[in-house]
Amino acid sequence: MYRLTDAQRARVRELLSRMTLEEKIGQMNQESMSIVGGFDVPFEELIEMLTDGRLPKEEFDKIMSTAKTDYHEDEVREGLVGSLMVQDAEKYNELQHIAVEESRLGIPLLIGLDVIHGFRTVYPIAIAEAGTFDEKLFQRTAAMAAKESRSQGINWHFAPMVDVARDARWGRVSEGPGEDTRLASRFARAKIQGLQGDMSSPENYVAACLKHYVAYGACESGRDYNTASMAPAQLYNVYLPPFRAAVEAGAATVMASFNDLNGVPCTVNRLTLRQILKGEWKFPGLVVSDANAIRECVNHGIAADQYDAGVQAANAGMDIDMGTRIYIKELKRAVEEGKVPLSVIDEAAERILSVKMWLGLFEHPYVSPELAARYETLPEAHLALAREAGERSIVLLKNENGLLPLDKSKKISLVGKLAAERTEVVGAWALSWRESDCVSIQDGFDNAGANYRYFPCCGPEGELDQAQLEEAAAWGDVIVAVVGETTAMSGEASSKADITLPGKQRELLEKLLAGGKPVAALLMNGRPLALEWESVHVPAILECWHLGVQMGNAVASVLFGDRAPEGKLASSFPRMTGQCPIYYSHPNTGRPGGKGKFTSRYLDAGWEPLYPFGYGLSYTEFAYDGLEVKDAGDTLMVSVDVRNTGSRPGVETVQLYTRDVTASIVRPVKELKDFAKAALAPGEQKRVTMAVQKNDLGFFNDAGQYVLEDGKFIVYVGGNSRDCLSQEIEVTF
Ligand code: GLC
């Protein structure tokens, strides 16, 4: 929990009183290390030239071979840098030593990094891990990442990303907890507890950073960085709650998002930053811009020039400028010209110093050699946790005639380039991993002692090797085809207008199926895919996402039946790309989708997703019965019997939804309110009980007021958002 003691607060105020205006603004400046060397254009321009083909790769590599990284040591020494990004303890100690020993006031640096789903021990991408519906697991993996990164000096994670995202065309769906507000809120809270919870030693906790504040996932058309427009009630009911939950859990920092929200970029948005975050929610921590976002306010057309952008951002409550140097160049003049009150600078500097004080950086600024070496070899416990998270994130989408689990002693043709690619298991936004730690799916087959032969055949890009395909189709008794996306096909700046299987992978599946052998498709991807054709023709489909360094072992464990699949989808899968955005918690409309022509549907794709939120099969079956909803004063007690009707053990995620049938604004047909796990042996039955606080049945109106309205509600309970038992109940508040 981010909170200062009175003594710490007094120390911050005393230090602040001794700082010059330049030094206060220096704290607001986050330098990005720049690549400098024998080229006469800015590094960003060099990258553009490489990307658009103006600069051949060989030429780029030659230039880079002589380049150096400038960490702006001189500015650090002058007290003009408050934070930086580095990835290793040696460079961390070097920079921290300059800040602490060589600057006038010795203020230590915040060192931030994008540790989104693990540092060295990379675990599943968030869209996958969220599908475990296990808050304890979310916390455990975050705590592991905090320890590993702190050993290299990183004391600030630009994580968790808690953007609700309902459009799978957006590449950053991979980075967050999916389409649902309640699951995202539980995920956000648990991640704060994991990153910031163990304050027994500064080695165990970091400052978390909630991002991207706010509604970045609502970017129009799923196109990254695009505008986001919505009714205020939608902002309050869908996109703000995960941030609020994490602020209430004690998050130390927040990162504003690139997008404009209803015409005002979040970087300079007084409503979201000052009125809601720092005002209504009384957020005590610091706010940092996203990379270059202050400068981009000129592109947005909200600022006339960089000076104007800096003035607007500071006055809106943006405490740290990531990467543009506008604050360090312009804010002194802005204060002298009366454009930015000195109180704004003092507030920002105090918030920044407070986070540093809370992190223990004034007492323990350096990383010892012992600590720096502590995780050089990944601890068995960390690998075991990554494997557990991987196994439990896997979602069984289809299993015709019980094809899975496979008997690993049978001849298996393992097909697909992704199966052997160790570097593809980590997924988007993994920065500090080592290939030597990565277990590919093929490695997993080896470790499991499977009887297989490997045939690359085809990847997400490039051609299909017909000869290998024919050999694969002939050799195995069963075929396992690993298909999906490369890591580069999801994450930032990776929106796609077509989310069917890329390249020739569908053709691969078609030709494999034509050979007559049973085919199981293992998906390695960073977003929901449009799998209509595959869902009809492929007998078994296992959603394996990008599971991190232990991917191969996790997949083998589920594929060969050591562990039953228990994952559920945190995001709906569309039938066709054109259905996006598609999500379960939608309004009913006046003509709800149905068989009739004049209903809200597509002529070529109906109205329902291929696989709904919360969906996931097991190697057994579960039956629900005996739903009971009791009004218990300020709560509704909801109970249901869940029985394992199959022949194998399994773990079910029991989901509880509600619907406010009639209200003063249109409300969704379902909203997730709670969930619980039920581990059941074959034939075993458990009665699962969950409580819904009546206060949880309200909603925000356009004025941002939370309202509770008497009336009819429906309670739904089931193993996904579509197939539920239901019961109506009249609720009065
Ligand atoms: C990126 C991302 C943000 C990340 C930041 C620093 O552009 O939008 O999520 O934390 O820059 O790397």
Per residue in 324-337, pLDDT (tens digit) is 999 999 999 999 99
Contacts of 638 (CB under 8 A, 6+ apart): 627, 628, 629, 630, 656, 689, 690, 691, 692, 715, 717
Residue nearest to atom 1 of ligand 1 (CA): 291
- 291 Cβ inside 6 Å of ligand 1: yes
pLDDT reading at 33 higher than 80 = no
Asked whether residue 266 is domain-assigned, the answer is yes
What are the DSSP calls for 648-715, one per residue? S-EEEEEEEEEEE-S-SS--BS-EEEEEEEEEE-TT-EEEEEEEEEGGGG-EE-TTS-EE---EEEEE
pLDDT of residue 54: 83
Tell me which of 372, 402, 417 is where a domain ends.
372
Per residue in 100-113, pLDDT (tens digit) is 999 999 999 999 99
Asked whether residue 286 is domain-assigned, the answer is yes
**Are 99 and 55 within one domain?**
no
Per residue in 387-440, pLDDT (tens digit) is 999 999 999 999 999 999 999 999 999 999 999 999 999 999 999 999 999 999
Sheet (strand 156-157) strand order: 156-157, 110-113, 83-84, 29-30, 321-322
At 234, the pLDDT band (50, 70, 90 cuts) reads very high
- 175 Cβ inside 6 Å of ligand 1: no
Tell me which of 372, 405, 434 is where a domain ends.
372
Residue nearest to atom 8 of ligand 1 (CA): 290
**Are 409 and 476 within one domain?**
yes
Asked whether residue 550 is domain-assigned, the answer is yes
Which ligand 1 atom sits closest to the C-alpha of 159?
10
Which ligand 1 atom sits closest to the C-alpha of 114?
10
> Among 46-55, 88-97, 280-289, 483-492, which is the least confidently predicted range?
46-55
Our CA angle for 187, 217, 571, nearest 5°, is 60
pLDDT reading at 319 higher than 70 = yes
Catalytically annotated residues: 290
Q: What is the mean pLDDT of residues 284-299?
A: 97
Name the residue of 31, 114, 431 to mutate for ligand 1: max ligand atoms within 8 A of Cβ: 114
- 492 Cβ inside 6 Å of ligand 1: yes
Asked whether residue 603 is domain-assigned, the answer is no
Asked whether residue 314 is domain-assigned, the answer is yes
**297 CA distance to ligand 1 centroid (A)?**
16
- 566 Cβ inside 6 Å of ligand 1: no
At 572, the pLDDT band (50, 70, 90 cuts) reads very high
Structure tokens that stand for 385 in this block: 């946790």
Which ligand 1 atom sits closest to the C-alpha of 257?
8
pLDDT of residue 39: 63
**47 CA distance to ligand 1 centroid (A)?**
17
What are the DSSP calls for 256-274, one per residue? E-SSEETTEEGGG-HIIII
Residue nearest to atom 6 of ligand 1 (CA): 291
**275 CA distance to ligand 1 centroid (A)?**
24
At 67, the pLDDT band (50, 70, 90 cuts) reads confident
Structure tokens that stand for 2 in this block: 């981010």
- 290 Cβ inside 6 Å of ligand 1: yes
Residue 526 near residue 491 (C-beta atoms within 8 A)? yes
Tell me which of 19, 44, 70 is where a domain ends.
70
What share of the chain has pLDDT > 70, as a percent? 99
At 2, the pLDDT band (50, 70, 90 cuts) reads very high
**122 CA distance to ligand 1 centroid (A)?**
18
Residue nearest to atom 7 of ligand 1 (CA): 291
Cis before 160? omega within 30: yes
Per residue in 247-277, pLDDT (tens digit) is 999 999 999 999 999 999 999 999 999 999 9
| Of 238, 193, 173, 172, residue with least CA distance to 672 | 238
**Are 518 and 657 within one domain?**
no
**159 CA distance to ligand 1 centroid (A)?**
10
**605 CA distance to ligand 1 centroid (A)?**
36
**72 CA distance to ligand 1 centroid (A)?**
20
The label of the residue with tokens 């916390």 reads: 139
**322 CA distance to ligand 1 centroid (A)?**
9
Asked whether residue 92 is domain-assigned, the answer is yes
**Are 347 and 399 within one domain?**
no
- 470 Cβ inside 6 Å of ligand 1: no
- Does the predicted TM-score (pTM) go above 0.95? yes
CATH number of the domain that residue 514 is part of: 3.40.50.1700
Name the residue of 290, 320, 321, 432 to mutate for ligand 1: max ligand atoms within 8 A of Cβ: 290
- 116 Cβ inside 6 Å of ligand 1: no
**Are 300 and 416 within one domain?**
no
pLDDT of residue 466: 98
**290 CA distance to ligand 1 centroid (A)?**
6
**514 CA distance to ligand 1 centroid (A)?**
45
pLDDT of residue 65: 78
**Are 45 and 137 within one domain?**
no
**Are 14 and 60 within one domain?**
no
- 696 Cβ inside 6 Å of ligand 1: no
Contacts of 283 (CB under 8 A, 6+ apart): 247, 251, 254, 277
Which ligand 1 atom sits closest to the C-alpha of 112?
6
Residue nearest to atom 11 of ligand 1 (CA): 291
Q: Would residue 360 be called left, alpha or beta, if left means φ above 0 and alpha means ψ between -120 and 50 degrees?
A: left
At 38, the pLDDT band (50, 70, 90 cuts) reads low
Residue nearest to atom 10 of ligand 1 (CA): 158
pLDDT of residue 131: 98
Helix (H, G, I), strand (E, B) or coil at 363: coil
Name the residue of 30, 47, 87, 158 to mutate for ligand 1: max ligand atoms within 8 A of Cβ: 158
Which ligand 1 atom sits closest to the C-alpha of 212?
9
Asked whether residue 414 is domain-assigned, the answer is yes
Per residue in 304-314, pLDDT (tens digit) is 999 999 999 99
Ranges assigned E (strand) in 24-174: 29-30, 34-36, 68-70, 83-84, 110-113, 156-157
At 627, the pLDDT band (50, 70, 90 cuts) reads very high
Domain that residue 488 falls in: 385-579
The pLDDT mean for the chain works out to 96
**Are 52 and 88 within one domain?**
no
CATH number of the domain that residue 182 is part of: 3.20.20.300
Which runs of consecutive H residues, i.e. helices, occur in 151-275?
181-196, 232-234, 241-248, 270
- 158 Cβ inside 6 Å of ligand 1: yes
What share of the chain has pLDDT > 90, as a percent? 94
**Are 364 and 427 within one domain?**
no
What are the DSSP calls for 56-79, one per residue? -HHHHHHHHHT-EEE--HHHHHTT
Name the residue of 492, 494, 495 to mutate for ligand 1: max ligand atoms within 8 A of Cβ: 492
pLDDT of residue 334: 98
pLDDT of residue 40: 67
**Are 193 and 299 within one domain?**
yes
pLDDT of residue 161: 98
Which ligand 1 atom sits closest to the C-alpha of 258?
8
Residue nearest to atom 12 of ligand 1 (CA): 114
Per residue in 511-534, pLDDT (tens digit) is 999 999 999 999 999 999 999 999
pLDDT of residue 35: 67
Tell me how many helices (H) and strands (E) the chain has. Answer: 23, 27
- 211 Cβ inside 6 Å of ligand 1: yes
Residue 62 near residue 39 (C-beta atoms within 8 A)? no
pLDDT reading at 43 higher than 80 = no
pLDDT of residue 60: 83
Which runs of consecutive H residues, i.e. helices, occur in 214-305?
232-234, 241-248, 270, 296-300
d(CA 594, CA 104): 70
At 51, the pLDDT band (50, 70, 90 cuts) reads confident
- 78 Cβ inside 6 Å of ligand 1: no
pLDDT of residue 37: 66
- 114 Cβ inside 6 Å of ligand 1: yes
Q: What is the mean pLDDT of residues 114-141?
A: 98
**291 CA distance to ligand 1 centroid (A)?**
6
d(CA 557, CA 387): 9
**Are 180 and 309 within one domain?**
yes
Asked whether residue 635 is domain-assigned, the answer is yes
**Are 124 and 77 within one domain?**
yes
Domain count, the chain: 4
